[in-house]
Amino acid sequence: MTKLDTARKKGIYLLPNLFTTGALFSGYYAIIAAIAEKYEMACLSIFIAALLDALDGRVARLTNTQSEFGEQYDSLSDLVSFGIAPSVLMFKWSLITLGDIHPVMGKIGWLAAFIYAVSAALRLARFNTQIGTIDKAYFQGLPSPAAAAVLASFVWICLDLELAGPDLKFVALPLTIVVGLLLVSRLRYYSFKTINFKENVSFIWVLILVLVFVLLAIKTQWVLFVTFSAYAISGVVLTIHSLRQKRQKRSQKAKQNTQDPKKPMP
């Protein structure tokens, strides 16, 4: 092996990791903006991080530059952008004011933010250990970018409605905990990875896509909140539907066994 081959082997791919670095920067800036009480900028930064996170993997696959380093770097970036940043945002915007009621409530506030952060870390660790062994069509548990989008869009629409975080602390508290628990749940979420974008689609889908872009331009935060909240709820619906189908199949098999008993031996 030549020195050049060794250098290439030890090096990292620049293009996909630039996108990951951009996502990490956006997540880190969201934390800084939340601390500085620039909440709208913090929400926007989290969505920019989500966009860059969606692009880095696709760029790596298109350019054939996937690497184990890139996977680990992407996971660490996700923890900052979709784990730490949303928890700090929720705590600084609303949950911190629980301490004004009672010191114990103050502890509950930062513990709720921690539950979300640690759930995101556990979700990412579980995902890394299941790569290549699970159905690519579905995620197990709410994906961390979607969870971060739910919290960020919630804060964003409250800012649009001029609702103060301290007034919504008893809404922000259960929302943060529930979204955190969805991260580590075993609910099934459609991954959209099985969609073949190379196939021809109906013209109606183009119109729907244009409509989505128009709505995003008019009321960005509302469209994002409705979309990602619906996606978070879809996991519950999909899992319940799947369980019902399994029960129906079991009951049908049981009925068939009772209706068609084995013939007795002669």
Q: Where are the domains of the chain?
A: 12-192+202-249
Architecture of domain 12-192+202-249: Up-down Bundle (1.20)
- CA dist., res. 100 & res. 166, Å (int): 10
- CA dist., res. 35 & res. 28, Å (int): 11
Write out the DSSP string of 97-166.
GGGGT-HHHHHHHHHHHHHHHHHHHHHHHHHHHTTTTS-TTEEES--HHHHHHHHHHHHHHHHHTT--GG
CA 189 → CA 22, 144, 222, 242, distances in Å? 26, 12, 22, 12
Q: What is residue 174's predicted lDDT score, i.e. its pLDDT?
A: 96
DSSP 80: I
Whose tokens are 């250990």? That residue is 129
CA 58 → CA 51, 126, 149, 193, distances in Å? 11, 21, 20, 11
Whose tokens are 């889908």? That residue is 205
Q: What is residue 215's predicted lDDT score, i.e. its pLDDT?
A: 82
| CA-angle at 48, arms to 47 and 52, nearest 5° | 115
- CA dist., res. 111 & res. 91, Å (int): 9
Q: What is residue 135's predicted lDDT score, i.e. its pLDDT?
A: 65
Torsion sign, CA atoms 109, 112, 113, 118: positive
How do beta strands 188-190 and 138-140 pair? antiparallel
Q: What is residue 202's predicted lDDT score, i.e. its pLDDT?
A: 67
Contact 173, 109 (CB under 8 A): yes
Where the chain has pLDDT below 50, the residues are: 1-8, 263, 265-266
pLDDT in tens, 6-47: 444 555 677 778 889 999 999 999 999 999 999 999 999 999
Strand boundaries in the chain, DSSP class E: 138-140, 188-190
Strand-pairing partners, residue 138, are: 190
Pair of tokens at residue 109? 């506030």
- CA dist., res. 159 & res. 219, Å (int): 13
Q: What is residue 3's predicted lDDT score, i.e. its pLDDT?
A: 42
Q: What is residue 1's predicted lDDT score, i.e. its pLDDT?
A: 44
